[in-house]
Structure 1
Amino acid sequence: MTNLPKNASSLAHTNLNDLKIRIDPKELLANTLEKIEGAYAYASIRAYRADFNAFIEFCEECNEDALPALPSSIANFIIKLSNNKRSSAGIRRAICGISTIHKLNRMDDPTKDPDVTIEMRRMHRKLGRSSSQAGSINIDTLDKLLSATDDSIRGLRDRALLLVAYDTLCRRSELVSLQVKDVKTTIKNGVESTSILLRKSKTDQDSMGKILRLSPRASLALMEWIKQLPEGQEKIMAGVNRAHSIGSAVGAGQINRIYKRIARAAGLDESVIKGISGHSMRVGAAQDLLSSGASMPIMMQRGRWSKSDTVMRYVEHI
């Protein structure tokens, strides 16, 4: 493929559809993702990278261009993903990523073409629109998990993680982002309370911040864990190795495994454990809020949801 001309920087505001040169899609994708780093959530960038690289490979197999892409290429890509048993939600995510990468490079959006729209309708009729819901960790299940923890370093960390996750309804990325310096304890009218500042969330990309209140039980567990953290530790949710030494911060991808490990120790049925994910605590806490009579505005405020239909998907299987 021919490389971009040396004066490519002067073409920053040029519609790339008008350029009569071949574009290296992998190089342009890498440059695009580098450009948006810090402006988009890490999970979004990771999804764009994975989905668009898969689309590039598909186009290479068909000897077609991925950037800019033909609507027919995208329609055929949808067919392939449908036949490969990818979920409808996963396919929608992939097509959204293709659209975004094109628009970020000032290219016409091929996903708006009628051929792509028709294929998406066909895909939805075939696969449906529903997405699998994470298994619920409600208050009853939470109590069972807590009973499986002990007073070891790992046990203290696990208790704090479980109770903070339930009280705050944190997404897993939010949970692992919580910082020690943002934990505040106040005493008012002789009553002690603890809160944590959530600096940024999925619905707060501008980092306005949100104060999350903890119950006395969660507060006690958190303080017991923080006492074990080494001086200078930044993140609250740190890892614990086999020697019971505190290591680096826990990654978002580890939350799921931690929940499942504790669930097995608690003796939960394997069919229940299979449905547990890093989102399960959020699902269970939302269902408990509904059961307690919480209104929709209160639930949306507690869970930091921007759409009521998202909340309803969480609680539809209560």
Structure 2
Amino acid sequence: MTKISAGGSLLSLSVPSRDISEKLAAFVRDKDAFSPNTWRQLLSVMRICWRWAEANGRQFLPMSADDLRDYLTHLQATGRASSTINSHAALISMLHRNAGLVPPNVSPDISRTMKKINRTAVVAGERTGQAVPFCRGDLKKLDQAWRASPRLQHLRDLAFMHVAYSTLLRMSELSRLRVGDIGRAADGRIILDVAWTKTIVQSCGIVKALSAQSSQRLTDWINAAGLAGEPDAIIFCPVHRSNQARFTTDPMSAPCLEEIFIRARGAAGVPDRKKTNKGRYAGWSGHSARVGAAQDMARKGYSVAQIMQEGTWTKTETVMRYIRVVEAHKGAMVDLMEEDSD
């Protein structure tokens, strides 16, 4: 019996050989090679797939191509999005590789099954959801609403939204920033020393510079909260209802950070979308500042390479998905038709 864990959550697996068990044990020991989110997703997929295998008399590990095909088809039949099914297939392959097994995904049957699932989903009207963009105009509205507020929560939330938009950092990356990561340029603007990101894990880290206005909003929060002399404290820390900042060395939780986006949308007076993607993306969420900043850069004519650098993206298709609405009006045929209309 081999146990795989993540954050105290355990999954026990019966494996067919000692060799596989030892490789899985090594896999667990080295789980820090992966991001916590990837490990959590792997555990979730393993639980779901294992339960399906147990309920249907199938073998979970190693899994045959026939069983994987039936499992993926089952996910589609129960309403899972094609992107979710792709993730399940990829993580099952990852588990097999690290157990020293040939992934069932190498079979042409699985390739055909995934093509069928994707095609069926698209024809049926499935579309990939995207975070509602938080753009420069929204930041200006928020700045007017909160910059003179006597409430520390507003000052913190405003500084957070400024930094999120200016740096294009992911929510988890913003949550880890500490007071000691703040530096100053010669003109007084803030420079943030970001230890690592989802796609850049290097000892030298990356550096993010803030504009004069964003630097001022972050400085206002630091001074009002009394954080200046606490280099190890998390910059965006909790605020007690007594209007006092609570210094901590642990990042705020994802739900707490998501609430900042919800409060910001209300303060900016922006109504939620009535039409959503499967009930998601009605308002701003953790990725909204990244999407909005990328779209604003595209509107200003910055190249895809520049946008990728600012957002630490490694895949061009990810950026193109975010800015596709903006780029649609820069197409060759639009230019041709506009020329003819002159």
Unmatched tracts of structure 1, length 5 or more: 5-15
Report the equivalent of 2:234.
235
Percent identity of paired positions between Structure 1 and Structure 2: 29
Mapped partners of 2:243, 2:74: distance in 1 = 47
TM-score using structure 1 length: 0.85
Deviation per CA, 1:86-129: give whole Å up to 9, x if none. Answer: 11111111111111111111111112212221211110011138
Report the equivalent of 1:10.
none
Q: Secondary structure at the match of 1:316?
A: helix
Give the CA deviation at 1:252.
3.2
Mapped partners of 1:76, 1:32: distance in 2 = 30
Residue type at the aligned position of 1:133: Q
Bigger shift: 233-242 or 95-104? 233-242
Deviation per CA, 1:245-287: give whole Å up to 9, x if none. Answer: 3334312343322101221233221227724220000000011
Unmatched tracts of structure 2, length 5 or more: 3-13, 275-280, 327-342
Report the equivalent of 2:65.
71
Q: Secondary structure at the match of 1:43?
A: helix
CA contact (8 A) 2:166 2:293 kept: yes
Mapped partners of 1:123, 1:274: distance in 2 = 26
Mapped partners of 1:59, 1:99: distance in 2 = 16
Structure 2 residue corresponding to 1:254, chosen from 245, 252, 256: 256
Q: Secondary structure at the match of 2:325?
A: coil
Residue type at the aligned position of 2:206: K
Structure 2 residue corresponding to 1:276, chosen from 273, 281, 284: 284
Mapped partners of 1:56, 1:90: distance in 2 = 17
Mapped partners of 2:54, 2:260: distance in 1 = 40
Report the equivalent of 2:340.
none
Report the equivalent of 1:13.
none
Q: Secondary structure at the match of 1:107?
A: coil
Report the equivalent of 1:116.
110
Mapped partners of 1:114, 1:196: distance in 2 = 48
Runs of 4+ in 1 over 6 A off after TM superposition: none
Mapped partners of 2:17, 2:188: distance in 1 = 68
CA contact (8 A) 1:137 1:284 kept: yes
Give the CA deviation at 1:148.
3.4
Q: Secondary structure at the match of 1:65?
A: coil
Mapped partners of 1:301, 1:258: distance in 2 = 26
Residue type at the aligned position of 1:287: Q
CA contact (8 A) 2:135 2:289 kept: yes
Deviation per CA, 1:200-247: give whole Å up to 9, x if none. Answer: 112113343110010011111111222214554422121223333333
Mapped partners of 2:64, 2:242: distance in 1 = 55
Aligned ranges 1:151-300 → 2 under 5 Å: 151-187=150-186, 191-227=187-223, 228-230=225-227, 231-232=229-230, 233-247=232-246, 248=248, 249-271=251-273, 274-300=282-308
**Are residues 306 and 20 of structure 1, via their aligned partners in 2, closer, same or farther at CA, if it must alter by over 3 Å?**
closer
Mapped partners of 1:73, 1:245: distance in 2 = 56
CA contact (8 A) 1:185 1:193 kept: yes
Give the CA deviation at 1:288.
0.7
Q: Secondary structure at the match of 1:197?
A: strand
Mapped partners of 1:283, 1:256: distance in 2 = 15
* Number of residue pairs the alignment of both structures matches: 298
Mapped partners of 1:28, 1:53: distance in 2 = 19
**Are residues 88 and 72 of structure 1, via their aligned partners in 2, closer, same or farther at CA, if it must alter by over 3 Å?**
same
TM-score using structure 2 length: 0.80
Mapped partners of 1:229, 1:63: distance in 2 = 60
Residue type at the aligned position of 1:113: S
